[in-house]
Amino acid sequence: MVTSRRGTTPAILLVVAGLACQEVGASIAVLLFPTVGPLGMVMLRLVFSALVLLIIARPAVRGHSREGWMAVIAFGVVLAVMNGLFYLALERLPLGVTVTIEVLGPLVLSIVASRRASAWLWALLALAGVFALGGGGWGDLDPLGVLFALGAATSWAFYILSSSRVGRAFPKLDGLALAMTVGALLALPFGIVDAGAALLRLDILALGAAVAVLSSTIPYAFELIALRRLPPAAFAIMMSLAPATAALAGFVFLGQTLVWLELVGIALVITASIGAVRSSARAAREAAEPLA
């Protein structure tokens, strides 16, 4: 697919805007942790995201195969687990560090998918970035927070695979809406216990809805539009900038400063992500050439 510069530039701006909205939403979520807790925030985000998607998509609940429903349920479980681990990590680690570790999930998936020996050089670069994040020794990072972030990274890889399965089985946004509903139902009891009486406050509910819109609705809509104008590889490279966006949002909205070694670590992981995406795209082109 050939894209014109006139069509590509607005698409790039949409991706950047989506990343910015996502990290602003995460910053608001962190500010709400003392009131509703991380699991309460997960519940609010998933519930409001599910409501918005159900209103927009109005998915049919009949006429789907057993395999399709199993894919939706699995996707919903992944959504609940991924968001839960991400917010539990955010409670203990800076936003930029958390997102950088989380990016390792899709990064490893890209390296494995490329099936090129040279791609593992990007894995080594990412590993160097991870060590730099911990100042060379990980002594200043909360160990439990790191484990939660690594769990979120693993969940993100499963999210990509589950999203692909659901996208093939359901039209438009139907599968995502149903999966988000499953995730919201799973998060509901944990969120109620964590947030307690705070859920009766209208201001908290309004901020929870804002987090859902900023972190899920707007980024997904922008990404959907951008993907129509950007090649998948270019889109993936843009998404690799998420750690930098997160570090900036953490600094501006949460006052989270990073030492120079942590900034080097973020830069290394971003470079490795971009390199892995380009390597994977090159491998896909080479595999397709004999069929041309």
Rounded to the nearest 5°, which phi and psi values hold at 244? -65, -40
Closest CA to 15 of 239, 289, 281, 255: 239
Judged against a pLDDT cut of 60, whether residue 292 lies above it is answered with: no
Q: What is the pLDDT of residues 252-269, one digit of tens each?
A: 999 998 888 888 888 988
Q: What is the pLDDT of residues 38-87, one digit of tens each?
A: 999 999 999 999 999 999 989 988 888 889 999 999 999 999 999 999 99
In angstroms, rounded to a whole number, what is the distance separating the alpha carbons of residues 278 and 273? 9
pTM (predicted TM-score): 0.85
In angstroms, rounded to a whole number, what is the distance separating the alpha carbons of residues 165 and 78? 13
Paired tokens of 38:
């991380």
Closest CA to 169 of 253, 238, 101, 74: 74
Q: Which residues contact 135 (CB under 8 A, 6 or more apart)?
A: 259, 261, 262
Q: Which residues contact 48 (CB under 8 A, 6 or more apart)?
A: 208, 209, 211, 212, 213
Give the Cα-Cα-Cα angle 183, 19, 184 (nearest 5 degrees).
10
Q: What is the pLDDT of residues 96-145, one digit of tens each?
A: 889 988 888 877 777 776 666 677 788 788 878 877 876 645 556 899 99
Any idea where the domains of the chain sit in the sequence?
Answer: 5-291
Give the Cα-Cα-Cα angle 110, 112, 116 (nearest 5 degrees).
100
CB 181 within 8 A of CB 18: no
